[in-house]
Copies of this chain bind each other. A is one copy, B any other.
Amino acid sequence: MSLRSALLALLSSGPLTGYDVVKQFSASVGHVWHAPDSQIYPELRKMHAEGLLASRPVPWGSRGATKTEYSITPEGERALRQWQEQPFGYVRERDPAHLRAAYFEWAPPGAAAAQLRAHIEHYRDQRAQALAQITALQERTSPTLARRLAANPEDQWERITRFKVFAYEGQVSRADQEITWAERGLRLLEELGELGRPDEPGTR
């Protein structure tokens, strides 16, 4: 149900056509809740059917073709608020990286270290991306934020912006934590003499 909320949140800053939803999604909310377009289009239609969104055909091209523009309805806004109200069930632990690490004794020589290095790489990227988002928010470079602020009274701007920054800060510190963990892992491997030793373990 989070995709639904993410879409409502996106559309709460103003109407968008399906295609624009997809585009803006991946450039904003998508950083915190990824979804492919193949999931977005049907969901929009479903939400429309349930009255959370209104739709309006917009002419496109010269041959009478149309695209659909969606906008949030009062009921959609109610759903958004309600979503923020109700506590959510946490998803169960399910982490491929930790799973692998727990059974590194099965990794061929070098493979464990390679995994950890890839882990670090990945989270360095994530970190950089999140930081870029934060700067874009703080310097008001983000077009999605601009739309949203324009749709709200000025005394709310600070508040709205800081919540988004706060969310991305969470991603930054999570990335930091993952990097630190993986580095500790590399040190562990080193300590076990596992960065070059060709040894086959685990075979009962």
Is A60 in the interface zone, CB < 8 Å from B? no
Closest B residue by C-beta to A170: B181
Q: How far is the CB of A164 from chain B (nearest CB, A)?
A: 5
**Which residues of chain B come closer than 8 Å to A77, judged between CB atoms?**
202-203
A156 touches B201 (CB 8 A): yes
Q: Could you list which residues of chain A lie within 8 angstroms of chain B, going by C-beta atoms?
A: 2, 5-6, 9, 12, 29, 31-34, 77, 80-81, 83-85, 87-88, 90-108, 111-112, 114-115, 118, 122, 126, 151-152, 156, 158-160, 162-164, 166-171, 173-174, 176-178, 180-181, 184-185, 188, 192, 201-204
Q: What is the oligomeric copy number?
A: 2
Known contacts A77-B203, A102-B163, A152-B202; can you find 16 more A-B pairs with CB under 8 A?
A9-B99, A9-B103, A12-B106, A29-B102, A34-B93, A80-B103, A81-B106, A84-B106, A84-B111, A90-B122, A98-B171, A101-B166, A102-B164, A151-B204, A160-B201, A174-B181
CA distance A176 to B168 in the complex (A): 17
Q: How far is the CB of A109 from chain B (nearest CB, A)?
A: 10
29 pairs from A and B in contact (CB 8 Å cutoff) = A5-B99, A5-B100, A6-B99, A9-B102, A9-B103, A12-B106, A12-B202, A29-B102, A33-B94, A33-B98, A34-B94, A84-B106, A87-B114, A88-B96, A88-B100, A90-B122, A97-B170, A101-B166, A101-B170, A102-B163, A102-B167, A105-B160, A105-B163, A152-B201, A152-B202, A162-B188, A169-B184, A170-B181, A174-B181
